[in-house]
Amino acid sequence: MKKNRTYMDKLMENKEFREKFDKEYQNLCIAEKIAEIRHKANLSQDDLAKRTNTTKSAISRYENSDYKSYSMPLLNRIAEACGAFVEINFVPKRRKKVKQV
């Protein structure tokens, strides 16, 4: 059964769009992970800020997908305060599929 192509499938064929999408998606994932571990640790943004020696507004920025200036020291303090650690994973870029003849 052939999959119907969506509008997103068409957009993702454009290299420039795909690269921008991937960068924005990465920021969204970081922000979501920070919020997720904070909630699992039953901490408010204010509680987490106090434990990491920063401000509530800094925690709020880190949980915002528009933020792009994460620092490893603060990410590590956030993780530690929530009983976690930061793990970085490098993943190969997608390669264009070549049709076999």
Whether the predicted model's global pTM rises above the 0.85 cut: no
Query: pLDDT confidence of 98, banded at 50, 70, 90?
Result: low
CA distance 56 to 88: 25
The 10s digit of each residue's pLDDT in 4-53 is 889 998 999 999 999 899 888 988 999 999 999 999 999 999 999 999 99
- Please say whether the structural domain 14-81 has been given the CATH code 1.10.606.20: no
Map out the domains of the chain as residue ranges.
14-81
**What dihedral angle (degrees, nearest 10) is formed by the CA atoms of 76, 67, 56, 52?**
10
Cβ-based neighbours of 28, under 8 Å, separated by 6 or more: 65
